[in-house]
Amino acid sequence: MISMTAFCRAFNFISAAAGLVILTPVLLLIAIAIKWDDGGPVFYLQKRIGRNFQPFRLIKFRSMAVGADQAGLLTAPADRRVTGCGRWLRRSKLDELPQLWNVLTGEMQLVGPRPEVERYVEQFCEQYSSLLADPPGMTDPASLAFRREDLLFLSAEMERQYVSEILPRKLSLSLEYQRRRGFGSDLGILMKTILGFSS
């Protein structure tokens, strides 16, 4: 009999592959819009920490000006570094769709705590040692609760806010969900995420 781990991995792989195929026209249109907007690269790759603290390259549609991350990783409301097209992509969360490729390769799963950059993981090693026993995910209860995280930031205090307030709350939600999650609850999270695209 197939194990639950193998079943979940197969579900993630098949769902990601199907999603990439079905969404190909949408992905192409987004790529054209990004290129048309400022002529820069379509994708943005960033080092994140994955399962068992192994680094991997997270892939997203680029939503900020080229090189904007050099000025900081967090974005405030009405951040001028976000492109016109990028603002719409972020609001709709469509910039996250390329991560289906990360799911296909096994670096991520559909439901799980969002992968973080190394410096934040290092500050919360105890929490991440539990959460990263499995691959990080595209969505989870914390992702839904903080869907418009950027609106919470005060421009002058973003780093302090994120480390002392926002990230601890997100980790708490992710850890709570980890203790009670099951395949059925994961499907519920996926449905809420998909419905959120249109809200």
For residue range 51-70, what is the model confidence (pLDDT) as tens digits?
999 999 999 999 999 988 88
Stretch 71-84: mean pLDDT, rounded?
A: 82
Give dist(CA 104, CA 30) in Å, integer: 20
Q: What is the pLDDT of residue 150?
A: 81
Stretch 15-37: mean pLDDT, rounded?
A: 96
Neighbour count for residue 60 (Cβ, 10 Å)? 19
Q: What is the pLDDT of residue 2?
A: 67
Q: What is the pLDDT of residue 198?
A: 46
Q: What is the pLDDT of residue 58?
A: 98
Residue 103 near residue 9, CB atoms below 8 Å: no
Which pair of structure tokens corresponds to residue 20? Answer: 């990439």
Which pTM value belongs to this model? 0.92
At 181, give phi and psi (nearest 5°). -70, 155
Neighbour count for residue 103 (Cβ, 10 Å)? 22
For residue range 138-164, what is the model confidence (pLDDT) as tens digits?
999 999 999 888 878 877 788 899 999
Residues 178-192: b if buried by 16+ CB within 10 A, e if exposed: beebeeeebeebbee
Q: In residues, how long is the chain?
A: 199
Q: What is the pLDDT of residue 197?
A: 60
Number of helices (H), then strands (E), belonging to the chain: the values are: 10, 4
Which pair of structure tokens corresponds to residue 93? Answer: 């969360």
Q: Above pLDDT 70, what percent of the chain?
A: 97
Stretch 101-116: mean pLDDT, rounded?
A: 97
Looking only at the bridges linking them, the beta strands covering 55-61 and 43-49 are antiparallel
Alpha helices in 132-166 (DSSP H): 141-145, 158-161
Statement: residue 109 has pLDDT above 90 = yes
Top-confidence residue, 89 or 198: 89
Looking only at the bridges linking them, the beta strands covering 137-139 and 109-111 are parallel
